[in-house]
Every structure is written in C-alpha cells, then in structure tokens.
Structure 1
Amino acid sequence: MTTKAQTAPLIPRSALFGNPTRAAGQISPDGKWLSWLAPRDGVLNIWIAPADNPDDARAMTAATDRPIRQYFWSPDARAVMYIQDKGGDENYLLYRVDLASGEETTVTPFENTRVELVGASRTIRDKLLLGINNRDPQWHDVYLLDLATGDLTLVLENNAYAGFLADDNLTVRMAMSQNEAGGTDYFRVENDTVEAEPFETTAMEDSLTTAPAGYTTDGKTLYWIDSRGRNTAALFAQDTATGDKRLIAEDDKADIGSTMRDPLTGEVEAYAVDYLTTEWHAIDPDIAASLEWLGERLEGDFGVNSRTDDDTVWIVWNDPLVKPVATYIYDRKAGTLTPFYVSRPELEGMPLQPMHPREIASRDGLTLPSYLTLPPGSDADGDGVPNAPVPMVLLVHGGPWARDGYGFNSIHQMLANRGYGVLSVNFRGSTGFGKDFINAGNKQWGLKMHDDLIDAVNWAVDQGIAAADKVAIMGGSYGGYATLAGLTFTPETFACGVDIVGPSNLETLLSTIPPYWAPMVKIFHERMGDPGTAEGLATLRAASPLYKADRIEKPLLIAQGANDPRVKQAESDQIVGAMKSAGIPVTYVLYPDEGHGFARPENNIAFFAIAENFLAECIGGRAEPLGDALKPSSAEIVEGASHVKGLDAALAS
C-alpha cells in the first residue's frame, strides 16, 4: 500500500543543503546600510545595500572557493569584516572590506594562525582587540588593531591564559586559565599585567556552566552566567568595585542562555530560557513591548539578529517551522515590519513537517529533552505518534558538550520527507540543562551516555513511533562517535549507521587536539579519561569503537574531511582499516578540501545524496537518485562504492 509519505513531493537536496538565497542579515550600527550573505558566482559572499534603497545591492567580497559564513560590521560602520580559513583547517584569519573604496585587506596576514576577537567598543569605534597565536600556536597574544591604518600593537604577551575579557575602553580587565581541578581561575588584569591570585574560581563541575558574560559600557557591572552553589546557571550582575553580586534571573529546568543588551549601555534588557523551546523574558519595559508586538505578528519562533546603535531598527529572523525561515526589518519608531528576505524560497509550499518536543526518561531516572519529526501524512491527528510505526533515524548531536534545539532543521526535514521518523536526544553530557545533567556524562562515553540513546530508541519503539528492525543511527563529531559506538557496542539495535567526522579511538583523539586547545586539555581528561594514568587510559580504550570494530555487522557509511583539525582523518582511516582487515564491508567518503564538517554546498549535497541512497537500501525509505550530485563536489570514494545504490554508476558517468 502506498502511504502519504511516499506520495508527498520529494524535496530536492539542493533546496535544503544548497546555498540559501540570502542569510545572516544585519544592519550597520549607524542604520545606513543593510548587509547579508548571498551567492556570487555560486559562492556565499557579503552583500550590502543602502537601508533606504535595499534593491541597490552590491557584492563586497569575491570569495571563489569556500563560502564566507561569519562576518560583522566594524564598530565605526566604515567596513564589513569577516573571518575565513583554508580548506577547513580552522586557522581563521581576519579580513576587512572598506565601504567607500571597496578595498579588501587581510588584517592578520599570517600563516598557521587562528584569530580571536577579544574586545570591541561602543565608544572607541576605530579599534578592536584581537587574540593572535602566530608567535606560539598554544597562546593568543592580545593586540590592539587600528581599523583606519591596519596597525597591530601588542598589548599583552600571553604564555599562560586560555582567554581574556576587555571592557568598553578596550582595556583588558580579566584573564582566564584552567586550574588543576579542571575548573577555571579568573584573574584581574591591571595595567596589562595579570594579578598573581584569582579573584574568582570554579571547580570542574561548574566549568561548562559558569563564565563571565561581559561588562556594561561604564565598566561598573560585570555579568555572569553562574552555576556555582546551584544546578542551573543563573544570570548575575556583579559590582566591579565591591564584588557584590545580584541575582537577575534563574530557571529550575534550564540554564539562562542568550541575553539582549542595550547597544549603548551594555545593560541586560532581556534574557532567554531554552528548555524544550526558547522563551524570552524582558526586564526593560520597552523591550517587553517590542517583543510582545513581534510575537503578535510572527508565527513560530523569532529572534533579533542585529540592532542599530540608537535601537530604533532591528533585523528580526522568524522560524515558522513548517515554512522557510524569513527575515524582517523592524522599525520600532514607525511600528512597521518589512520583509527583508526568505532564506530558502524554494521551500515555500513544500511539505515541511512540525517538530515535536518530547521528554524521555532514561533507565536511571534522568529526563532527556528530545525532538521528534515524523514523515508527511504519517500522523493523521498530529499528536506526534504515527498511525503505524515508521523507519527511524536517531540523529545524534556533536560536542558532546552541546545540545539539540527546537526549530527548522534541514536534516530532520530531508529525512522525514524521505519517509523516516527523526529523533534527536539531549543525552547526559549535553549542555543547557544544568550542571548535574552535564556532569552525569563525565567519563561515560560509550557507557551511560550511550545508554541514554538506546533508552530513547526503546521509548520510540514502545510508543509505536519506530519500527524496531528499521532504526538507523547518524551524527557528526560526537554524533559520529555515537554511531560507531552504536554499531560496535550494541550491534543488534541499529540497522545501519552514518558516521560524519566521528572519532574511533579516544586515545589518539586526545593526543592530536589543536595546539590552541592545549590550555584547556584538563577538561577533556576530567570528563573523558586521562591518558596519562593507567585508569584513564583503560577508560578511553574501553570506550573506543576501534577496538571492537570486528563486532560491526550492519552497513556503515563514513564521511571525513581531510583537513579536520579536531577529529583527524586518521580517526576514520583507523576504523576503515580495521574493518577491511576483518573482512567487514564499509563505505568511506573523503573530502580533501573540508575540515570538521562540510562548508561547501556542493560537498554537502553530494554527501546527503550518498547518505539518503545508503539509508534507502538499509531501512527502506525513498531517495532522490544520485544523478550528477557528485560531479561538482570533491568527494573521493575511498572504499565501498558498490554498497550504495547508484554510486558506481554515478562515479562512472
């Protein structure tokens, strides 16, 4: 019998994973210019237009290889600036494009260097503070950048600290360093000299849930997101003169997340709590009125991308969930909401599916905030349970110290459109739900963290959501590790797996971290296992899928970026080699021009073309034929082309 899911229009891969029509809309600080990312000759570049004439657009950059994905306005509104790496190596350099002349300059013309923004000012608009690790890759020295001349002046040579915080005068006020316990020590900085003793410190248990959140413009208040002495991280304001702290906001279920700050004073005006969905709470009455006004006019979720210095104009994104994301220009003074763009207009009218937030109980009593998307037509009454069990993909997030959230998700939509239920689970160790939830994952890679995923699969089967013999596991980074763990530790649970840049050997993973992560390595040892101790090394090896590769009995697809600085190519090479030695088939796709994930749309489209045809053979969904999807990409099929329907033919054409 043909189901509605099988007759729903097939959403083209290019509509989900190709270039957006526009993205990342902003308004210049002075309100005179609109900016966004859009394709130029097929590659995402920065475009601008006068705010009073949005149709008079021009491209400001001319990237021809990798898309520009992060940019910002200089504080003086005289330039747009962006960071870019080479081939996914994550050595980000800073570039500046002058508005008047169109001239582009490389602000940090160094090799093997990663630039960080240390500070920007609301009052000193022609300068920035940068962290640059060109002297020693482990340590970022602090430099003052003169935006007008491009001159870099050394402010502080760094040989001990993981990061710095500055105030609005571009004065370095704080240095951070990991302590022996795996927590963080915070040191005052006076006259560019770091004090000997910390004025604040955290234990390891608070290391991922406590951090300073910046100074007000006058420097009198320092904000903290802080979990010390509590479970969920609350928002505090600290008097910098007396050290006294005042509680601003807290929530029992989730950490305080994003804040809205006054563009000129830096004072917190609103904050967000993100448990199953995001809820904004305004402190300032005018901000409360604006958020309420927007909420009455926008369907689904929304947020503020960018604000003018006088706060009269906002760039607002809107995610209706079952329609493509749209962006608007909100004139607060005039009370108008003007369409700016729809990021992916080709998705309009497509059968996009709602996402259902769910709470799933783990076997030992934790609550796992999760998200479920179902195939079109499979859930007649819209209650989040299909009329009959469906094939399912367990989509596992990376990190693992990150989280899944509510909102439009291209992978969820593609997989649901192909006939699968899609379940994303915030397993223990995920962030955002309090420190107890994070710390429950300490040294639990492949153990209780993996149990949570199995519990979620069992829940989906018990609820009549998933067909027990047609569950795949898929994910990137830690999600790739979870895929390998699923097929080695619990080979009976999953019908197949898709591993994207996942580590297979935790010992070699920790021995090859990027040099600029070295100041924070203690946190990995405390939360994963210390390879310098016999006990820690045994923990890491026991949790490494590489040593159990001979247990794999279900189809496996592996994708890897050759330039990945976090999860080296050797992580995929090792397990592919072990599987070949054991005579176990595997399909291995390598991208020579990518790193930790795939930035180029051509490579993303090629990967999902392979992945959806792989899944269709394993668990019976439908797939858009491979066609010519591989031709524009750099994909190299290292092993196992014959295991994916149509892949041999696509390579031969």
Structure 2
Amino acid sequence: MGGALPELVPVRDFVASRQSTGGYRVSPDGQRIAWFGTDGVVPAIWVKSMDGDDAKAFRIRARSFRFSADSRWIAITADPTGDENTRIHAGRVEGPDTGLRELMPAPRTASQLAETVEGSSDFIVTSNQRDKKVFDLYRVNPEGGAPTLLATNPGNVVWWGVDRAGRLLARTVVQGDQSLLERPGAAGGWTEVARWSRWDRLRIFGLHDDGRKAWALSNRGRDKLALVRLDLATGAEELVYGSPDVDLDSVTLSRGTQQPLVVHYMPGYPARKVFDPALAARLDALAGPQPAEVHVTSADRRDRVLTVSVATDRGTRSYLLRDGRAPQFLGESRLSLIADALAPVEPITYTARDGLPIHGYLTLPVGVAPRGLPLVLMVHGGPWARDRWGDGGMGRAFLSNRGYAVLQVNYRGSSGYGRAHMEKARGELAGRMHDDLIDGVRWAVERGVADPQRVAIYGASYGGYSALVGATFTPEVFACAVDMVGVTDIARLLETAPPYWELSLPWWHRYVGNPAVPEDRARMDAKSPVFRAAHAQKPILIMHGVNDPRVKLEQSERMVAALRQAGKEVEYLTFTGDGHGNQKWSNNLAMYRKTEDFLAQCLGGRTSGFDYYQLGAWAF
C-alpha cells in the first residue's frame, strides 16, 4: 500500500515544529507585532518593533493574546493544566522585561478578555471569581492595583455590552425560554429593550454610533445566521448581508470605523464578502486562484497596517500588509511547513436515508488510486460545531498521510447550515445523527472509494461518543474505533458539568434530555455506550486528559472497566497535565503515535514507528 504514497511525515512534524508561527497581531499604534511561536522548545508569545531586531519572548503556553489600546501592554490568556480555569497575564511591550503579571489571581476560576479601553492600558475582563456559575464584569489596569468591579451578574447575564470607551451600555439575560436585551435604566436598574426566543441565536459585537448601535450575527426570523445592524434602543435589526445556503461564520470590523470589512462563510470551499473594493483586490492577490480562507487578523487604529492569514487545506501562511508596500511574509503553520506531503480536501454532499442533504469533506491519500481504500470516518465534536475545509485539520492531514481516506460529515445538529439542520438533531443522539454517519460510510463504499471491511470511526468529545456508539450500536460497520475524551454516560455528563455550564444546560435539556426527569434519563441511558459494552465486537482505543473538566475522566474509566469486564478488546491511554483536548506537544506526540499503531494493526495503514522525540517528551 505504501509504495506510491508520499513521504511518511514523522509524527513530531505534526505536533512539535519549532519553525511554525501564527496568530500574528499588530499593535493599535502600528509600531509592533506579536505572534505565537516557540522559544527553544518552550511555547511563547513573541513581540517586537515592526522593523526592528528587538524580538523578545514571553514563555507561556497561551490560548490567546491582545494588545492594550495604548499599545504598551500585551495580555495573554492561558489554561496551563487543561482544566479550563483560564488565567490572564500581562507583560510590558517595551524593553527587555519578559515578566508576566496575573491580572485576576484567584484559584480555580476562569477569566476572559472582553475589550480594551481606548486611551488607556486597561482591559475589560469577565470572571467567575465571585460565583463559579456566572461571569461578572471587571476593569483592570496591568500596571497594578485591584480589579474594579463594573457589574455583578445576577445569575442570568450571558453577554455584557461594553464599548471601546469602557462603558457598559447593554446586556443580554435569559429568563425561562426567552432572551432579553436590556439597557441601563434609572437608579442603577436595567430596562428591557427587546426579547426573543432563547432558542434563537444572536451574537452581538462591535458597539458603535456612540453606543446606540451594534453588529450581530442573528437568525431571528430566518433560518441562517446573517449579519445585521442592531438598534440597541429598540432591538430592531437591519439586514446587512447573508447567505441563502449557510450561516455566516464571522465578521471582521474596521478598527478605525467599526464598520464591517469582511464577512466569512463556508458553503463547501470558503467564501468571503469584502465590502471595500481596494481591500478585496489586496486579499484576492494574496489568496491566488485556488480556494483559500483569508482573514484580516488585526489592524492598527488607522487600518493602514494589517496582518492577514491565508489558510488552505494544507496550512496557513501569514502576511503583513502596509500601505504603499508589497505584502511581507511573516510565517507559516506546522501544516504549511509540510504541505508538499499532504492531500487535498474535497467538499462532498450526499443524501441521508430520510432525504436530508448532508455536507462534509473527503480527503483521499495522494499517490494511490481512490479505489477500495481503508477509510477513517472522523467525527467532529460539539455536536453544535462543524467540520471545515481549511487549516486546523491536523488529524485529517495526519491520517491521510498514513494512507487512509478520511471522511468528515456535518451530520444533522452540526452548526453552520441553519436552524432547521440543527433542530433536526433534537432527541437524535445514537439515532438519526448516527444514521447520517453510517449513510456517509455507505456513500463512500458505493462510490468504490472505501473498502467496507476496513472502516474505522474516530473522534473526540461528541465525536468520541459517536465512535463508541459506532462500536457498540453498529459494530458490524466498523473494524475498530478510536475515542478521545468521549462521552460514555450522557446523564452523568450533565450531572457533573462544570458550574459555568449552568446557563447553557437548558440547551442540552432541549436536545438530549434532563437527567432529573426519570423518562428522560431512561432514554439517555439507552443511548449511552457505557451500558452497551457487551455489544462491542471490534478493538477500541480510548484516550483521555486527566484534567478534563467537561467530560470527566470517570467517563472513560467506567467505559474501559465495562469493556474489560465484558471481555472486549480495549486499549487505554491517559494524558497528564491536559484536559478536554491536548495542549502539550508531548501528549499529542503520544496520542498520534498510539493512534497510528492502533489503526495500522486494524486497517493496515502506515505507521512511522518509534519517534526519537519520544525519548525527551517526559522532560516537557
């Protein structure tokens, strides 16, 4: 099988490249640039003056970062142990100092950056320090001093509307099956402006026009998420742009004017609407003639200095755009560094057994005829998420390089395809949602692409649940299953959910059931793989981060115990220092090495064998 396949890329190149960089952002004054990279073998955020040689590294495994509005500080969010108790650290941009100060120090709490305040170094942040279930609003100065509490969450606020001057001008609360938009009223109270169904989706951002208006992605009164301009005094929406086929994904605003620059969406290959013709020409030139997802990732306050990412199915490259200058290449992702050995990704569509159109992606290994291939059905998590065409498909790239066809399915319930597509998933875990996956396998077999005797199912989180459903509900379809941080007992997932899930649990109850209701719990148990371990017939690999706060480790521990008690073949691997998905390269190295060996034995694909990086992984 391997003779005509491309070079076998070592696992280390997928998980631990010291040359890869990304996430470039320019400071608001346009004088500095920062990015994700490594310092030696340690993850770091780098910052330097735009054309200088004064680069310095803040050595931290970061989730995100942001410059202060005055460009003097950089705030960095991190989840050091994978338990989602996110911390915020700040470092000085100028000078050689690489020390970091924690802005919201408190054990076992989560804090997030919400906004920067124009004309100052201050950051607006949300934190659940006071009440683990909800997030209060604070203003904090990285120079020092205690955070200033701006607003206390009464228990039902899901969005705080803060403008760039740091003013709290609106909030969204949930009340039963309704969502309410409120504005500050007399005597410190709040006044209702508008209300809508809690099950509508309304993502508000970009307050402007002196706080009278905001932008939003909304599906109120429509099936698909569209860009609207929201009147914060009345709640009325003005439609700006929408796609008839899919939800809009994201909107990039001008830093200078707060007007929309680019709208992104993904009907198959990525699509974008650029509102300024001159910017559209510059982005088209960077993208070239092939499909690409092109994002303006940051801008200075005059929109004259931009950072831009160009993502394809084989990696991301980053550029600096400055008025009057040619684009400057900044760096590239791990996948881009090995792009020549990777396979293209093709959007596909098929019809489910009940007539529902299902969209997804098929990746065929390079160098071999697309006939009778071993197939990995790779199921995305969520389930309210979706598979995408561009960069980020590390597992997809890895598996196709090993010689597998990879099928990704945006089953009913996936986001991105409108309200109706999502609503069809209600009550359908281990039901029609799983049928969509099986129908995808049958589609690949009927096309002649897949060998029906060599099909594996693989996924993380909800995808891990789906893998175990495949192994225990439809074991005749799959030769083996790989589960990463997967749900095995649905009722226990909700009963042990982290406290900050409190306001989202009604969504779960609507789709899955409420474990406090006996009839619902019985249905949930009937759809839970842990109670069907005796039905497994093929080998199963289960992996889990020990600090996972969402899908607790007990979910995998119980499944492994049940399988072993039933005499089934199961391998089990845990990852210290990580949670719901691995951040540590050493854990990802172990995960991919275990996966390739397991699938090679099950499906007959390639494996790279022992990787010498494994010798030193224990040290990191």
Counterpart secondary structure, 1:265: coil
Matches within 5 A, 1:204-219: 204=199, 206=200, 209-216=201-208, 218-219=210-211
Counterpart secondary structure, 2:491: helix
Counterpart secondary structure, 1:336: coil
CA distance in 2, matches of 1:26, 1:2: 41
1:448 Cα deviation after fit: 0.8
1:136 Cα deviation after fit: 1.4
* Residues 1:191 and 1:424: Cα distance change in structure 2 (over 3 Å): farther
Residue of structure 2 equivalent to 1:225: 217
1:476 Cα deviation after fit: 0.6
1:567 Cα deviation after fit: 0.4
Residue of structure 2 equivalent to 1:80: 74
Matches within 5 A, 1:27-38: 27-38=26-37
1:150 Cα deviation after fit: 4.2
1:559-587: CA deviations, max 9, x gaps? 10111000000000111111111111211
- Note if contact 1:156-1:192 (Cα within 8 Å) is conserved in structure 2: no
1:93-124: CA deviations, max 9, x gaps? 11000123524211111111100233334x34
CA distance in 1, matches of 2:385, 2:258: 27
1:618 Cα deviation after fit: 0.1
CA distance in 2, matches of 1:514, 1:391: 38
* Residues 1:462 and 1:126: Cα distance change in structure 2 (over 3 Å): same
Matches within 5 A, 1:83-482: 83-101=77-95, 102=97, 103-121=99-117, 123-160=118-155, 161-181=157-177, 184-190=179-185, 193-195=188-190, 197=192, 199-204=194-199, 206=200, 209-216=201-208, 218-296=210-288, 300-322=292-314, 324-331=315-322, 333-344=323-334, 347-348=337-338, 350-379=340-369, 386=370, 388-408=371-391, 409-482=393-466
Amino acid at match of 2:484: I
CA distance in 1, matches of 2:493, 2:112: 24
Match for residue 8 of structure 2 among 4, 7, 10: 10
CA distance in 1, matches of 2:612, 2:261: 51
Amino acid at match of 1:96: A
TM-score, with structure 1 as normaliser: 0.90
1:548 Cα deviation after fit: 0.5
Unaligned stretches of 5+ residues in structure 2 = none
Q: Is the aligned partner of 1:560 residue 2:558?
A: no
Residue of structure 1 equivalent to 2:59: 62
- Note if contact 2:101-2:142 (Cα within 8 Å) is conserved in structure 1: no
- Note if contact 1:215-1:221 (Cα within 8 Å) is conserved in structure 2: yes
Counterpart secondary structure, 1:602: helix
Counterpart secondary structure, 1:175: strand
Amino acid at match of 2:301: D
CA distance in 1, matches of 2:4, 2:523: 47
Root mean square deviation of aligned Cα:
2.2
- Note if contact 1:392-1:472 (Cα within 8 Å) is conserved in structure 2: yes
- Note if contact 1:20-1:343 (Cα within 8 Å) is conserved in structure 2: no
- Note if contact 1:19-1:601 (Cα within 8 Å) is conserved in structure 2: no
- Note if contact 1:218-1:265 (Cα within 8 Å) is conserved in structure 2: no
Residue of structure 1 equivalent to 2:24: 25
1:62 Cα deviation after fit: 2.7
Percentage identity across paired residues of the two chains = 32
Q: Is the aligned partner of 1:48 residue 2:39?
A: no
1:338-389: CA deviations, max 9, x gaps? 111233388346321110111121111222211111111124xxxxxx1x21
Amino acid at match of 1:593: G
Q: Is the aligned partner of 1:617 residue 2:613?
A: no
- Note if contact 2:170-2:232 (Cα within 8 Å) is conserved in structure 1: no
CA distance in 1, matches of 2:204, 2:187: 19
CA distance in 1, matches of 2:59, 2:148: 29
CA distance in 1, matches of 2:290, 2:182: 44
1:11 Cα deviation after fit: 0.7
- Note if contact 1:173-1:190 (Cα within 8 Å) is conserved in structure 2: no
1:416 Cα deviation after fit: 0.9
Amino acid at match of 1:272: H
Amino acid at match of 1:62: R
- Note if contact 1:202-1:210 (Cα within 8 Å) is conserved in structure 2: no
CA distance in 1, matches of 2:209, 2:32: 24
Q: Is the aligned partner of 1:496 residue 2:461?
A: no
* Residues 1:498 and 1:198: Cα distance change in structure 2 (over 3 Å): farther
1:418 Cα deviation after fit: 0.9
Unaligned stretches of 5+ residues in structure 1 = 380-385, 636-653
